Structure formats: C-alpha cells, structure tokens
Amino acid sequence: VTDRIDPLRRSANMARIRSRDTKPEIVVRRAAHAVGLRFRLHHKELPGKPDLVFPSARIAVFVHGCFWHRHSECRNCSEPKTRVEFWRAKFAANVQRDRQACHDLQQLGWLPIIIWECETEDIDKLTARVSELRQLRHTRSRFQLSSI
Ligand SMILES: [Zn+2]
C-alpha cells in the first residue's frame, strides 16, 4: 500500500483533526446523543464556527476550553507566569473574538450557548447543561413554528 499523502501534509492533517475533535467536545456530543439530541457539527458559515448546531431551533453551541477562552474564576483558568504581556494580549483577543461571535450570531437570530470544559468533567453538570439544551431546542422550535 502506497501512502499518497506526504508526511508533512499528513501531520498537518492530523493536527487539524486533533484540534477539531477536542476531548470536551466529544464528551458533549456523547451526552447529547445519549438523550437523543440530534445536531450538526462545525457550521463553517456561522460566526465563530460553533461546535454543535441545532438548525431548526437556531441554537449554536460552543465547547470552550477554560484556559484559552478564559473561564473566569475557574480553576483551569490559570495565569501564565512568564511572557505575561504576550499571554494577556492573546487571551484578550480570544475573549473579544468569542464575544463578537456571540453578538453576530444573535444578530442573525441564533442563540449562542457556551459549555465550558470544566462542565464536561462533571457528569452532573454536563447532564444539567444537556437537559437545558434539549428544553431550549424544544421551546425555540415551537416558537419559530408559531412565528411563521
Ligand atoms: Zn472552567
């Protein structure tokens, strides 16, 4: 069997796959499946490229890493001790980008929902968030039907 993809290209592909299928996201997908919630993945055309979307209810879910997306007052949201200015600027840009994506989604009639990485580590919290999603989807689908 010949490998048609050169090693450099392949490792780039692997890196992309890995960054897309981060663990907390997989945990959320499983939990959603477990309660029978159907969703679509990685909606590229929507602001911020949400991780899971419920198109009929216009709900866009982001599964955010607590460190990169700065989950305030979370134990995973530590401050790096070196290159402080660099990290501060990087984090500020991430937070600003997230805020903008949520704002843009709302302008388009979508409801942005953020599930934090730490919530996926606690099965009770995750179950609560997924149940909340199911309820929201139900309510918003009905609302959108009745508003036509
Ligand atoms: Zn957190």
Give the distance (Å) from ligand 1 centre to CA of residue 123.
14
Distance 45 CA to ligand 1 centre (A): 27
Distance 50 CA to ligand 1 centre (A): 18
- Cα(28) to ligand 1 centroid in Å equals 14
Distance, in Å, from the CA atom of 8 to the CA atom of 25, rounded to the nearest integer, reads: 26
H runs (alpha helix) in 6-122: 7-20, 23-34, 84-107, 117-121
Q: 47 with 100: CB under 8 angstroms?
A: yes
Here the tokens at position 136 are 């929201």
> Taking every pair of C-alpha atoms in the chain, what is the biggest distance, in angstroms?
57
pLDDT > 70? residue 1: no
* pLDDT tens per residue across span 2-28: 555 555 555 555 555 445 556 899 999
Closest of 116, 136, 124 to residue 39, by C-alpha:
136
Q: What is the pLDDT of residues 85-114, one digit of tens each?
A: 999 999 999 999 999 999 999 999 999 999
Decide if 126 contacts 27 (C-beta within 8 A): yes
**In residues, how long is the chain?**
148
Give residue 40's pLDDT band: very low, low, confident or very high (50, 70, 90): confident
List the helix and strand counts (H, then E) for the chain.
Answer: 5, 4
Q: Measure 118 CA to ligand 1 centroid, in angstroms.
A: 4
The pLDDT value given to residue 146:
54
